[in-house]
């Protein structure tokens, strides 16, 4: 059987960590591992009401073209990210993951080069794997973010990757939010060297401080393809996201999308459009930001009291993660294995996200702060610190 599969599948493998996380999903475990939004924060009642209204019309269960009403709502949302676009530039997808996937299929020929950070979202690496690309990595950092000067040097040296992949707000996993200046510079580089950027922005609406930084796309409408998602700001079960790109790209995307899954679920689109139309979304988003800010602060407070003298981190101004750096001698993959068996706490060892060998990643851990309530966060950090103390001896 294996011989009949495409060549790239022979080298791909499911990570042992993924298996481990599935095995450890029982109630006795505290999970800081997956990037789950808070279940209590889903606006289930309002969505149920929307669904009830939508189901009064049975044609909402039919195959269907993208819902214009929803695209208009997204157009309004995009202006909050500093992006002015027409509804014809908005393309609906089954989540950001599909957005990245469809764009990669449009941009990549097998064996081409792509530019990514040394430490990046694994879902992107999985998307490009079938194309067996050459992955050109640039340094990145949990404080300063992607090294834009290095990007410029690479392009100046003559490299012309098929695309650059970035997560400028609430980076997964490093948790940084890129400065306005670096965004401007990146956008300029994309235009100057004619290398498109995939801007993956599922956390862009989850800003916890007052100042919101506009999307990279707001600085360069032509060379940046924006990928958005309702997963972290509404509910991932909806499987709904979008791309903002030029008309020509949108036309091609619709061809690739039709081949993939015909159309984004009509029911989901209508339910979401109904919900957004009622203007409850603004309150919901504010509530979400308040709640996540407070969970973030709770985790930071407990990290400070329990591990402040040993590990370091920055306070994320967006997103769902805290990137914890331990001394270089610590191997967080080993820490993870022990944590699962002795303390029943899960997290992601940094190495999982390394597109290339990274000492910084190998001694770091990604902790999610959105999923658990304050009590669980306190208990989980106490258990982790017990483990870390044993390690230090
Ligand atoms: C950076 C990034 N991109 C894309 C996704 C996928 O999101 P979606 O549920 O919208 O497909 C995630 C999910 O965690 C993510 O962190």
CATH number, domain of 78, equals 3.40.640.10
3-state SS string over 193-253? HCCCEEEECCCCCCECCCCCCCCHHHHCCCCEEEEEECCCCCCHHHCCEEEECCHHHHHHH
Token code pair at residue 236? 């991932």
User: Sheet containing 364-368: which strands, arranged edge to edge?
Assistant: 321-325, 364-368, 348-349
Q: To 10 degrees, what angle do helices 280-307 and 374-392 make?
A: 30
How many residues are recorded in the chain?
A: 393
Same domain, 130 and 196: yes
- Give the model's pLDDT for residue 17: 67
End position of a domain, from candidates 242, 258, 280: 280
Rounded distance between C-alpha atoms, residue 392 and residue 237, angstroms? 41
Mean pLDDT of 366-372: 97
Mean pLDDT of 190-200: 98
Same domain, 294 and 249: no
Q: Per-residue confidence at 104, pLDDT binned at 50, 70, 90?
A: very high
Same domain, 70 and 151: yes
| pLDDT higher than threshold 80 for residue 275 | yes
Alpha carbon nearest to ligand 1 atom 6, residue: 97
Q: Per-residue confidence at 1, pLDDT binned at 50, 70, 90?
A: low
Same domain, 17 and 80: no
Q: Which atom of ligand 1 is nearest to the CA of 230?
A: 10
| pLDDT higher than threshold 80 for residue 16 | no
Number of domains in the chain: 2
Best substitution site from 18, 35, 97 to test ligand 1's pocket, by max atoms within 8 Å of Cβ? 97
Same domain, 203 and 331: no
Distance 171 CA to ligand 1 centre (A): 11
Pocket lined around ligand 1, Cβ cut-off 6 Å: 35, 95-97, 121, 123, 167, 172, 200, 202, 229, 231, 236, 241
Residue 173: is the preceding peptide bond cis (ω within 30°)?
yes
Same domain, 261 and 328: no
Q: Which atom of ligand 1 is nearest to the CA of 236?
A: 9
The range of the structural domain enclosing residue 226 comes to 45-280
Q: What angle do CA 34, 36, 40 make, to 5 degrees?
A: 145
Best substitution site from 123, 126, 167 to test ligand 1's pocket, by max atoms within 8 Å of Cβ? 123
Rounded distance between C-alpha atoms, residue 304 and residue 45, angstroms? 37
End position of a domain, from candidates 246, 280, 314: 280
End position of a domain, from candidates 224, 253, 280: 280
Rounded distance between C-alpha atoms, residue 61 and residue 356, angstroms? 45
- Give the model's pLDDT for residue 393: 66
Q: To 10 degrees, what angle do helices 247-261 and 95-107 make?
A: 110
Best substitution site from 36, 42, 92, 95 to test ligand 1's pocket, by max atoms within 8 Å of Cβ? 95
Same domain, 234 and 300: no
């Amino acid at each position: 059987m294996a011989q009949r599969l495409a060549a790239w599948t022979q080298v791909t493998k499911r990570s042992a960590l993924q298996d481990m996380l599935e095995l450890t999903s029982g109630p006795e475990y505290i999970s800081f591992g997956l990037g789950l939004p808070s279940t209590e924060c889903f606006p289930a009642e309002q969505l149920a009401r929307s669904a009830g209204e939508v189901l009064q019309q049975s044609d909402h269960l039919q195959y269907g073209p993208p819902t214009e009403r929803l695209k208009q709502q997204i157009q309004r949302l995009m202006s909050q990210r500093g992006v002015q676009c027409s509804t014809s530039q908005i393309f609906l997808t089954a989540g950001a993951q599909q957005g990245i996937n469809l764009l990669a299929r449009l941009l990549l020929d097998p064996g081409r080069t792509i530019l990514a950070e040394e430490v990046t979202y694994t879902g992107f690496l999985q998307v490009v794997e079938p194309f067996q690309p050459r992955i050109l990595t640039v340094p990145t950092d949990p404080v300063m973010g992607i090294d834009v000067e290095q990007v410029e040097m690479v392009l100046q040296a003559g490299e012309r990757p098929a695309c650059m992949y970035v997560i400028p707000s609430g980076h997964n996993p490093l948790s940084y939010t890129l400065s306005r200046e670096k965004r401007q510079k990146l956008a300029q580089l994309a235009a100057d060297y004619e290398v498109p950027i995939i801007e993956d922005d599922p956390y862009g609406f989850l800003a916890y401080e007052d100042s919101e930084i506009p999307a990279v796309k707001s600085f360069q409408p032509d060379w940046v393809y924006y990928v958005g998602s309702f997963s972290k700001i509404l509910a991932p079960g909806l499987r709904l996201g979008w791309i903002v790109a030029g008309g020509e790209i949108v036309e091609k995307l619709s061809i690739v999308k039709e081949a993939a899954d015909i159309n984004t679920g009509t029911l989901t689109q209508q339910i979401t459009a109904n919900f957004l139309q009622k203007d409850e979304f603004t309150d919901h988003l504010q509530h979400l930001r308040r709640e996540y800010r407070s969970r973030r602060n709770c985790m930071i407070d407990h990290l400070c009291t329990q591990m402040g003298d040993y590990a370091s981190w920055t306070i994320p101004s967006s997103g769902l993660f805290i990137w914890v750096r331990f001394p270089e001698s610590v191997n967080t993959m080993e820490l993870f294995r022990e944590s699962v068996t002795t303390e029943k706490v899960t997290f992601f060892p940094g190495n999982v996200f390394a597109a290339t060998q990274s000492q910084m990643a190998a001694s770091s851990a990604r902790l999610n702060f959105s999923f658990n309530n304050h009590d669980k966060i306190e208990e989980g950090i106490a258990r982790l610190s017990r483990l870390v103390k044993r390690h230090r001896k």
